Amino acid sequence: MIFHSALKLAQAVRKREISAEEVINYFLRQIEVKEAGIKAFITVCADQALEQAQALDRRTDLPGLPLAGVPVAIKDNIVTKGIKTTCASRILANFYPPYDATVIKRLKEAGAVIIGKTNLDEFAMGSSTENSAFYPTRNPWNLECVPGGSSGGSAAAVAAGEAPLALGSDTGGSVRQPAAFCGLVGLKPTYGRVSRYGLIAFASSLDQIGPLARSVEDCALLTRVISGHDQHDSTSSPRSVPDYLAELSQPLENIKVGIISGDLLKDVNPEVKEAFYFTVKQLEEEGAQIEELHFSSWAIGLPCYYIIAPSEASSNLARYDGVRYGYRDLSEKQLLSMYQTTRTEGFGAEVKRRIILGTFALSAGYYEAYYGQASKARLLINQEFRQALDKVDFILTPATPEPAFSFGAKADPIAMYLSDIFTVTANLAGVPALTLPVRCSAKGLPIGIQLISDFFQESELFRLAFLVEKKVEFIKEYNKIN
């Protein structure tokens, strides 16, 4: 069952060839066997998952449920009613939300079963899942390596066969980078395609919930379920949602693929560079027209991101003050000192670093020099993407500068931030971007590439990814780790 796609599992449950309870019991056993080594989950919802599955098996409308009985792992910054939601932070270590996020409601309506909440870099701030307040998550391909971040727990759970599908959040690459490190397909949808209601905010103008799966088909299926307008999210788009899965088989003709220029690849790992050009060759064999693009603004993406994201984090995380909910230092009797000790003890080092950076960038006398300039740079990045996507249908880049790295290898924060060089620009521009695995390194670690398309062109993005997936047949590599 571990290699069954979510699509096939749901079909089997709908036809009552297997019960939802049997499916959930199987994956709970997988978690029991593998969690000691991987630690993908913060909370395993065994009792609730079995209750949901048993209720599904009693229903008479299974044929109408696209994810009937399929277990889904949820990043622990997406709220789940009555299930602890921690953001991998001490400050929310015992927070039980009173409501479900919109994506959780849509998953349940589609027949999916929430099997657990996954580990992450605290408040989604990081690229390795080493910044969790609880413990790091390990990469199933090599337990000495990180799974990426910040959605490392979700990626590791799917790669290890603990769940066929997972949700993460992507602010600067936090779905796509761990998908690349763990050999998965990961999507950052167009900003506004998926409701953010119930996603605990990091940087509100950049955050998007996105799916992780072992195949393009499963990723398309899950994206269709969670997408669509939501009255609870003012940034949610009213555009209709295509049937991404049904459109996968439609041919792509006369496509133009833009590739980033060689100067942006000069510091990229040689194996990643080789995988990138290997993908270019596969696309050329399928008749794609390849055009090199020169992005003068790409290099400013990282500094722009690391001003805007911390600034928004500084504002969003001000609510964690120990007064209304979450951790509170009960030993302090004065209000200001209670604020200080609560936040000092409740937040980890990386979160505090970003709050301080963001507060400085927004402070009087510095706002225009930092946040104001970053906003202008973001506009330039948007304009350059618009111009590029007027000339080509897709943009192809490496997903990451290197395969998964070992624990502690990026102790310097700047070195860690540089891991996001290829992913942050899509968040700044708001366009959809998808990563999928194409090769393994000499050490047996997955290498992914990134595909970017125009606003709300997820359907076309899936179709191109499906084409690449069939060409490279990476799915066979899973036999090496399970």
Helix (H, G, I), strand (E, B) or coil at 120: coil
Asked if CATH classification 3.10.20.30 holds for the domain at 6-249+451-480, the reply, yes or no, is: no
φ/ψ of residue 256, rounded to 5:
-115, 125
In angstroms, the CA 73 to CA 335 distance is 39
Report the share of the chain in percent with pLDDT over 70. 98
Task: Return the amino acid letter for 414.
Answer: I
Q: Which residues are catalytic?
A: 75, 150, 174
Mean pLDDT of 387-393: 97
pLDDT at 478: 61
In angstroms, the CA 269 to CA 288 distance is 25
pLDDT at 2: 63
Residue partners of 65: CB distance under 8 A and separation at least 6? 10, 14, 56, 110, 111
Buried b (16+ CB within 10 A) or exposed e, 175-207: bbbbbbbbbbbbbbbbbbbbbbbbbbbbbebbb
pLDDT tens digits for range 434-444: 999 999 999 99
pLDDT at 339: 92
pLDDT tens digits for range 48-76: 999 999 999 999 999 999 999 999 999 99
pLDDT tens digits for range 224-273: 999 999 999 999 999 999 999 999 989 899 999 999 988 899 999 999 99
Q: Indicate whether 292 pLDDT > 70.
A: yes
Q: Indicate whether 3 pLDDT > 70.
A: no
Q: Indicate whether 482 pLDDT > 80.
A: no
Domain boundaries, the chain: 6-249+451-480, 302-371
What would you report as the CA-atom Rg of the chain, rounded to the nearest whole angstrom? 21
Nearest 10 degrees: Cα torsion 135, 140, 146, 151: -70
Please name which of 409, 377, 397, 406 lies closest in space to residue 450, comparing C-alpha atoms: 397
pTM value is 0.96
Query: Given pLDDT bands bounded at 50, 70 and 90, which one contains residue 324?
Result: confident
φ/ψ of residue 127, rounded to 5:
-130, 20
